A and B are shown apart, each in its own frame.
Chain A
Amino acid sequence: MSIVSEQLSTGKQAGRTPAAPRRRNWLRLWGRFGQYVALVGYIVFLGFPLLWLLSTAFKSPQELAKLTPTLFPVDWTTENFRIAFEQTQLPQALLNSLIVAASTAVVTTVIAMPAAYALARLRSVVRTVSVGWILVSQIFPFILIVIPVFVLLNNLGLLNTLTGLVVVYVVWALPFTLWMLMGYVSAIPKELEEAAAMDGASKLNILARVVFPLLLPGIVATGMFAFISAWNEFFFALVIITDPAKETAPLLLARYVGAEGSVNLGPLAATALLTTLPSLLIFSIAQRKLVAGIMSGSVKG
């Protein structure tokens, strides 16, 4: 309130000299110009690394060996992709990543759905505790969790298996999945369920026929989120998987960077490009929903 009154009073004092509007127009024009310059700066900073990855992936080894690189390949070649597929375990790693990410997405959403419903609909201490846990767990570095998880998986015989990785990823994705789903559940009007209950529908029926269809877009978005986070994850995989045949794509890439990748930039770029495609693809499809979901979770949570 004080801001408003303050500005109202300064407005009176300012008066309107005839020269002021023209000067202001000039200022505004320059301001717009400056804004566009800044925007182009952001586009270059954010976009250039991606462009460079694309360009490197399609350059021939000879061209990459040149000391003065060109922005775009002189002759485009898919040679790097062939090398990536033939000389590395990329196909296996991509398959492993796909299995792990898809399983994580399915399991996470299936077990999170009832919990998200309960947490969103029945306000109770449990809800406060859960939301509190989501926030508190952010503070602890992974190193505290990963050592006991390592020992635990070892005792369960799940160390160095994709199943073990899925278990960890599900738990890892759950808090945020719950967060998102809770936002979607809250968006479904309670009155719809109440009306169905009045008509004599059983609770199970209401959940299956009323809530679930309305929740489906949210479930898909949440599943995609879980998929991306599992597909992208690196640290737990690094600790849990040691067998090269069970490596996920990020692991393979990290190993490749350390080994021959620093010399063979072309295949490295090609592998990186292939690995990032699935998450980019999903992301471009679900971008709006994902962002809205994360935001709604944080606003309504």
Chain B
Amino acid sequence: MQTSVASPAGAPAAPQPPPGRKRRSSGGIGGRSTWFLLLPSLLPVVLFSVYPLLNGIWLGFTDAKAGFDVQYRFNGLENYRQLFQDNLFWQSFKIGLIWAFSVTILQFLLALGLALLLNAGLRLQWLVRPLALVPWAMPSVIVAILWKLIYAPDGGILNAALQGLNITDRNINWLGDFSMALPAVIVVGVWAGMPQTTIALLAGLQNVSADLHEAAALDGAGAWTRFRTVTWPAIRPVVVAITSLDFVWNFNSFGLVYVLTEGGPGGRTMLPMLFAYNAAFQSGNFGYASALGNAMVVVVLAIMGVYLWRQMRQSQ
């Protein structure tokens, strides 16, 4: 025991092996104690994350149903044939894409504006910085409730404010109206996701060379020119990374809209995850719901692939 625990001490203490020997260091005795250190984390992850994921992908090709000891069998592409004929599926994915694109783009633009302001050395930072982070620390259920209070059709502050400003004279049922519900939840999505995006962009802005900025300003470059030629190229990798992540998170989002509208009215805010949840835990169609999940992965991968490929080509 003593030796096996003590052995990794030799590894870091010994003179650094040349980088080319990386692979061997993971195979020797040092490798074995590495596994020993990794095991407590690795075991649960494999059992409750990797295995379920693989199993979930597989279930998408079966006719699995909810229930105790239900036998299920491989049914090939049958689920996907059904999906293609399911109008609700197409509607849900259309809504999901509208939601994910709108939220991601608005989130990015607003967060970029905020990050630039925070980086500009204005006063009021003590107030803005915590406010910009608070939505991140809140449960999505609470965020949904916050906005339900604002959107409340009777006695909600939004209707009262709009009526006070004479913009409208009727009580709008924001979350219950066929045409208003999706825009209304998109606003909430933007609010909830702004912190991560702002923090990431702010970190990116800190990498922008102040010297370059100063030089450009001395040369009479306007704010826009400086942003385009100095700031943007420097933060671009962060922008690509955070917008990709935001898109994936938004497309896979669940709790916020579930509490706000449960997908209603009339399925107008039925994001793919809500649709899949209903298929699995309301209708008990585990196979069909997993097939939906697989379809979501394909859509996300396709969109991300195009996006990242275009970004790579542009930066070359």
A residues within 8 Å of B by Cβ? 3-4, 6-8, 10-11, 14, 20, 31-32, 35-36, 38-39, 42-43, 45-50, 52-53, 56, 64-69, 71, 110-112, 114-115, 117-119, 121-126, 133, 137-149, 152, 154, 167-168, 170-172, 174-175, 178, 190, 193-194, 197-198, 202-204, 206, 228, 231-235, 238-239, 249-250, 253-254, 257-258, 261-262, 265, 268-269, 272, 275-276, 279-280, 282-284, 287, 291, 294-295, 299
Contact = CB atoms under 8 A, between A and B. Distances in A.
Contact of A280 (B11, B138, B273): B138
Contacts of A282: 137
A115 B40 contact: yes
Given A139-B301, A265-B155, A115 B42 contact: yes
9 contacts: A3-B230, A43-B124, A148-B56, A152-B51, A172-B49, A197-B13, A234-B259, A250-B142, A294-B199
B139 A43 contact: no
Nearest to A172: B49
Interface stretch (B23-31, B85-93, B307-315): B23-31
Given A14-B219, A69-B160, A143-B273, A122 B145 contact: no
A20 B222 CA distance: 13
A233 B139 CA distance: 7
B197 interface: no
B157 interface: yes
B220 interface: yes
B215 interface: yes
Contact of A137 (B49, B245, B272, B281): B49
Q: Chain A binding site: helix, strand, loop or mixed by DSSP?
A: helix
B194 interface: yes
A69 B155 contact: yes
Contact of A142 (B26, B37, B68, B273): B273
B6 interface: yes
A39 B53 CA distance: 43
Nearest to B219: A11
Contact of B134 (A32, A45, A65, A280): A280
Contacts of B294: 144
B98 interface: no
Contacts of B219: 7-8, 10-11, 14
Contacts of B148: 257, 262
A141 B142 contact: no
Given A133-B45, A143-B276, 6 more contacts: A49-B149, A152-B52, A171-B48, A193-B12, A197-B12, A283-B134
A7 B12 contact: no
A10 B221 contact: yes
Q: Which A-B residue pairs are the 6 nearest by beta carbons?
A: A11-B219, A144-B56, A124-B26, A148-B52, A203-B9, A232-B139
Contacts of A45: 191
A167 B59 contact: no
B167 interface: no
Contacts of B243: none
Contact of A144 (B134, B156, B212, B297): B297
Interface in B108-152: 110, 113-114, 117, 120, 122, 124, 127-128, 130-142, 144-150, 152
Tell which of B5, B11, B31, B138 has the most Cβ of chain A within 10 Å.
B138
Q: Chain B binding site: helix, strand, loop or mixed by DSSP?
A: helix
B290 interface: yes
Nearest to A198: B13
B9 A272 contact: no
Contacts of B306: none
Contacts of B199: 291, 294-295
Contact of A204 (B5, B53, B286, B290): B5
A125 B146 contact: no
B229 A139 contact: no
A124 B34 contact: yes
Interface in B266-311: 272-273, 276-277, 280-281, 286, 289-290, 292-294, 296-297, 300-301, 304
A291 B229 CA distance: 28
Contact of A46 (B5, B26, B135, B251): B135
Contacts of A280: 134, 137-138
A274 to B, nearest CB: 10
B300 A139 contact: yes
Contacts of B60: 144
Contacts of B272: 141
Interface in B39-82: 40-42, 44-45, 47-53, 55-57, 59-60, 64, 68
B258 interface: yes
B32 to A, nearest CB: 11
Contacts of A172: 49
B262 A147 contact: no
B132 A46 contact: yes
A234 B52 contact: no
A170 B44 contact: yes
